[in-house]
Amino acid sequence: MERMNWTDICRREEYVGRWVALDGCRYDSGSGRATEGAVVDVDDDLVELMNRIRESDYQGCEILFCAEDGHPSHASDAEEPDPFRNTAH
């Protein structure tokens, strides 16, 4: 499996607009977000991808949505939005 950084992944047409599973990730120290990894699976359907990953040997994957703007969205963002994201303290 080829390791790629997130920018390169988002430049590939086969990944844009799809959920991507990354293994062996490298993370940004400030944000904690995955910035690099090996693409092990990809799918338009998050549930299908998660089911395949759950049944595979890749149990520690990051699953991110490859948006056209290159900013990753985590699978957890899609499942449970933060109820406090628009509150002021």
Span 9-57, pLDDT tens digits: 999 999 999 999 999 999 999 999 899 999 999 999 999 999 999 999 9
Query: pTM for this structure?
Result: 0.75
Q: How many CA atoms lie within 13 A of 82 on its CB side?
A: 6
User: Does residue 84 register a pLDDT over 70?
Assistant: no
In a domain? residue 82:
no
| Domain-located, residue 87 | no
Is there a domain that residue 35 lies in?
A: yes
- Report pLDDT for 2: 81
Q: CA-to-CA distance for 67 and 69, rounded, in angstroms?
A: 5
Q: Is residue 83 part of a domain?
A: no
Q: Are 73 and 52 in contact (CB under 8 A)?
A: no
Q: In this structure, what are the phi and psi dihedrals at residue 4, rounded to the nearest 5 degrees?
A: -140, 150
The closest of 77, 85, 68 to 7, measured between CA atoms, is 68
In a domain, 24, yes or no: yes
Q: Which pLDDT value is given to residue 38? A: 96
The helix (run of H) or strand (run of E) holding residue 53 is helix 46-55
Query: Within a domain: residue 44?
Result: yes
16 domain-assigned:
yes
Range of the domain at 49: 3-76
How many domains would you assign to the chain?
1
